[in-house]
Chain A
């Protein structure tokens, strides 16, 4: 780990030296193969990604129903958004669901990966498949199933509750419980997936490290916190960022579970769901574009924040 850092530092020092134009171009030319290696992404993005972005930027200053003519409205969509309480509610919902799901999910995934990586553990293949199955199944079918598990009156969970003498819970009639149900769907679906990511990451941590720790008298918990987590840092950073981006754009789970209304009092409306509804139900493509740009800003800021926090706490 240290070796990489020092190399980066020396490289940075190199770049800080005043370089003439000619030498920069020489460097670029020298590294032309590297630019070629990374070029496919940028070329494809220029072709397929850029137009939609500019189109939606253009749209956000217009009123457009999807059919017929666009009408220029300046910043009106954005000023409307500032006073749109439903939009701000959806922002709150999204963050609440993020909070409820991310930490249990990533921690659970780390633990599962760590356990699955135990040498000599039997049935590893079975466990891997069993945990990943959640991510393979189509999300719509999964939501139908979750709907019947968390039904207000006839849900499976309430059936179990009454059998063991507890009071049934109206899961989908409470603003907080709705978010808990959505978060539980997210956790269910993505814990195994993240565990597989961590498991792949663990492969490059040599067993000798664990063995040495064992000889020093470390127990499993100590090994987990002092070897696994620090060494997995790049991978953990990756999952934190991906989870943040993903849950800020959470859509299918709440939409199929609650329909476009987002449940009682709109308690389950996420930002993306709200945006989708503006475009495809209300046919307000201009406003939906404005929402998507604000969402983009939120994601960018929040991701940056998360990145910094995880990097700080990881690097002791």
Chain B
């Protein structure tokens, strides 16, 4: 009686098993491929590496089968985390990192590149950038630098002119040397034109810290964000808010529209903001200039390439990344993808410089490369992201609600203390 339904279920489960088995056999085996090549996989997200360069790398290494897999930038870390959490099965040989800080406490999960001869090429890279990927004991390097994000002041020449401020980049930098000068200029702009000098106080806070030599933690991972630079950055952000100089924007469509409508006179941003701004505000082309930032040079963003411990071909992987990131190729990536080189030797190359129409034919590379050489060394700490998001959330509250200065600061300190107590 039951035969029919039994056989039906049996056939169905058999089909599924077949599908399952046939595809498992394809999963990559550790050794060499049938054609004698070694397969090296690489994970990256859109625009973090130059696709043309990756194509060239395949020609460069005929014995390596380089498989580059482009992954959604928004969920990139979730995928990497899952692969690493599973003990590296399924993880690639080379992994792109948007910032090395969160992986530093887990340096033992990555191949120490110093063991593979990375110290020989150390002098090609900017020291501060290199050290972002070095463990506090200076013994391990977990990744090689890709690009950097040197910061500068983006400003509207026409609005500065109306407010009676200098318009030439060198003069702007000379007059706006400190954040206090910058705020003062902001008041002038507001009085003369009604335009806001700052887009958000979160940016003020972030960029102030990007210019500093220490943020939330010292090298022993002790929390120092209860004073020092963090408090200074907080006070500056508070002041900007109090004086009503911030347009209180969040990134995205609101930011884009405000920029395009000329409602913001300036912001401090990394070099990659050039492209973001050009996309967001095509109507303002030619009106923007770039100057060395008030408060000093800083960095915001920039990524790395590391090799997870689970890789079966770390030597080949290292060969690939050290080639991808050599000065000549970084220069090429700058030209095609705006990825600002972490190798200062190429800054003087004529390829780096050009007149940029969007910025009134200014050669902005000059500004950014000077800034790049001047960034202070900085230790982020393992809990940087956690603590930073608490501060940034609180600043959003400051901007939108009438908070008491002292209470807002004490609240966020309490939250940090609680989070770090876990």
Within 8 Å by CB, do A and B touch in the complex?
Answer: yes
B84 within 8 A of A: yes
Min Cβ gap A6→B in Å is 29
A261 within 8 A of B: yes
Q: What residue in chain A is nearest B9 (Cβ atoms)?
A: A36
Residues of A210-262 whose CB lies within 8 A of B: 260-261
Residues of A50-82 whose CB lies within 8 A of B: 63, 65-68, 76-77, 80
| Complex interface: chain A residues within 8 A of B400 (CB) | 173, 264-265
Interface centre among A36, A65, A266, A283, by most B CB within 10 Å? A283
B385 within 8 A of A: yes
Q: What residue in chain B is nearest A66 (Cβ atoms)?
A: B85
A266 to B106, CA, bound (A): 30
Residue among B106, B253, B393, B396 making CB contact with A154, cutoff 8 Å: B253
A280 lies within 8 A of B81 (CB): yes
B392 lies within 8 A of A154 (CB): no
Q: What residue in chain B is nearest A86 (Cβ atoms)?
A: B415
Residues of A1-58 whose CB lies within 8 A of B: 32-33, 36-37, 40
Bitwise interface map of A from 185 to 211 toward B, beta carbon under 8 Å scored 1, else 0: 000000000000000000000000000
A281 lies within 8 A of B422 (CB): no
| Complex interface: chain A residues within 8 A of B108 (CB) | 68
Min Cβ gap B172→A in Å is 27
What is the number of residues of chain B that contact chain A, defined by CB distance less than 8 Å?
36
A153 within 8 A of B: yes
A282 to B17, CA, bound (A): 38
A35 to B344, CA, bound (A): 71
B397 lies within 8 A of A264 (CB): yes
Residues of A119-161 whose CB lies within 8 A of B: 147-148, 151-154
A40 to B5, CA, bound (A): 13
Min Cβ gap B362→A in Å is 28
| Complex interface: chain A residues within 8 A of B249 (CB) | 153
Q: What residue in chain B is nearest A264 (Cβ atoms)?
A: B400
A272 within 8 A of B: no
Q: Which 10 A-B pairs have the closest CB atoms?
A: A154-B257, A67-B106, A282-B386, A66-B85, A264-B400, A261-B393, A173-B400, A148-B253, A265-B397, A151-B254
Given contacts A67-B85, A265-B401, 10 further A-B contacts (CB under 8 A): A36-B5, A63-B422, A147-B252, A151-B254, A153-B249, A154-B253, A280-B78, A281-B385, A281-B386, A282-B386
> Would you mind naming 21 contact pairs between A and B with Cβ atoms under 8 Å apart?
A32-B2, A36-B5, A36-B9, A65-B106, A66-B81, A68-B105, A147-B253, A151-B254, A152-B254, A153-B257, A154-B253, A261-B389, A261-B393, A261-B396, A264-B397, A281-B386, A282-B383, A282-B386, A282-B419, A283-B81, A284-B422
Please give the residue numbers on chain B whose beta carbons come within 8 Å of chain A beta carbons, in ascending order.
2, 5-6, 9, 77-78, 81, 84-85, 102, 105-106, 108-109, 249-250, 252-254, 257-258, 383, 385-386, 389, 392-393, 396-397, 400-401, 415, 418-419, 421-422
